[in-house]
């Protein structure tokens, strides 16, 4: 009898540990696991776009969830690196083939942020939102004069003329400048082509405004860069209607928060601005606008 009682207690303990483990798993992964009903997913893209991994994972999960009938891409970003911006754009285009996608520009959706918005079926922005900035930038710094002042010599051995192009150890030569300008012009034309294609504008029409200028939402509407002036709620309502949701749609936000045990204590360590400081670790081309936020 005693052995049976002990076995029963052990079974109960194991059951509760199992349930607790599932709960902790959902908490750490950021997935509630209990979504019901027809929903609109809101994928928030914010800050500098330097990596596409979390966004691509979210788009994959959204595409596989049949209860999600439509998607809103909420953009609060001045842009970022060309590669990640194009990856996100391409995945959203693929998603729009199976679910309606609406973009909503908040404070700023410019340069790479606007590039991504163009993948949506419809773009909303507030009258005072900042958008546009159809352009590309690459920035370089030269320490040549500093090295001369410090009387330091640097020797570079390379396999080809352009192998160390953009090196901070010396000024760029005229041929190197022309080479980089060619890269920028090519990527710029890719941006112009995407805007022309998605916004149903001619290349000539886009060229007139593709000089890096930013526009308010109201100006962008007149230029046909966006479809409607409206808030995030307006975009969610439109997405729900396009997705055939008759009642008020449930909303699920992405990317999901992933909690680590270290993160539970991270807010106790306060280093102002450190977590938001972008790090450019290598040369790259950027769809980016500098806006003080």
Tell me the DSSP string of 208-224.
Answer: TT-SS-EEEHHHHHHTT
Residue 137 lies in a domain: yes
Within a domain: residue 13?
A: no
Q: What is the pLDDT of residue 94?
A: 97
- Joined together, the tokens standing for residue 259 give 């909690």
The predicted pLDDT at position 249 comes to 87
CATH of the domain at 60: 3.90.226.10
DSSP 103-168: EEEEEEEETHHHHHHTTSSEEEE-TT-EEE----B------HHHHHHTT-------SSTTTTTT-T
The torsion angles phi and psi of 142, rounded to 5 degrees, stand at -120, 130
Number of independent structural domains in the chain: 1
5 belongs to a structural domain: no
Region of residue 89 (phi > 0: left; psi between -120 and 50: alpha; otherwise: beta):
alpha
Question: Does the residue 39 lie in any domain?
Answer: yes
CA distances from 277 to 209, 271, 280 (A): 30, 11, 10
Q: How far apart, in whole angstroms, are the C-alpha atoms of residue 206 and residue 204?
A: 5
Burial class (CB within 10 angstroms; exposed 0-12, middle 13-18, buried 19+) of 253: middle
Residue 272 lies in a domain: no
Encoded tokens for 18: 């199992």
**164, part of any domain:** yes
pLDDT lower than 50: segments of the chain: 9-10, 14-15, 17-35, 260-262, 264-266, 268-269, 271-282, 292-293
- Catalytic residue numbers, as ranges: 111, 163
Structure confidence at residue 6 (pLDDT): 60
Q: Is residue 23 in a domain? A: no
Task: Please state whether 212 falls in left (phi above 0), alpha (psi between -120 and 50) or beta.
Answer: left
Domain encompassing residue 141: 35-258+279-288
24 occurs within a structural domain: no
Query: Tokens representing 280?
Result: 């450019």
């Amino acid at each position: 009898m005693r052995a049976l009682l002990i076995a029963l207690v052990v079974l109960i303990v194991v059951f509760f540990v199992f349930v607790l483990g599932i709960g902790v798993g959902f908490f750490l992964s950021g997935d509630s696991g209990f979504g019901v009903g027809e929903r609109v997913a809101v994928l928030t893209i914010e800050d500098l776009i330097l990596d596409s991994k979390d966004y691509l994972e979210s788009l994959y999960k959204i595409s596989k969830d049949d209860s999600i009938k439509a998607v809103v891409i909420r953009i609060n970003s001045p842009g970022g690196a060309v590669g990640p911006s194009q990856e996100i754009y391409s995945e959203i285009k693929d998603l729009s083939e199976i679910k309606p996608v609406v973009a909503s520009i908040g404070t700023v959706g410019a340069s790479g942020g606007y590039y991504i918005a163009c993948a949506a079926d419809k773009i909303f922005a507030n009258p005072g939102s900042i958008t546009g900035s159809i352009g590309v930038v690459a920035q370089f710094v030269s320490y040549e004069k500093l090295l001369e002042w410090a009387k330091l010599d640097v020797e570079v051995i390379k396999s080809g003329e352009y192998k160390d192009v953009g090196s901070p150890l010396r000024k760029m030569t005229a041929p190197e400048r022309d080479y980089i300008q060619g890269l920028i012009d090519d990527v710029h034309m890719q941006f112009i082509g995407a805007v022309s294609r998605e916004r149903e504008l001619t290349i000539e029409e886009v060229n007139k405004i593709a000089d890096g200028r930013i526009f308010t939402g109201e100006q962008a509407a007149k230029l046909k860069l966006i479809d409607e002036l409206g808030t995030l709620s307006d975009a969610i309502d439109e997405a729900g209607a396009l997705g055939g949701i008759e009642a008020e749609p449930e909303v699920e936000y992405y990317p999901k928060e992933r909690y680590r045990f270290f993160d539970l204590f991270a807010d106790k360590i306060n280093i102002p601005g450190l977590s938001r400081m972008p790090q450019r670790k290598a040369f790259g081309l950027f769809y980016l606008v500098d806006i003080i936020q």
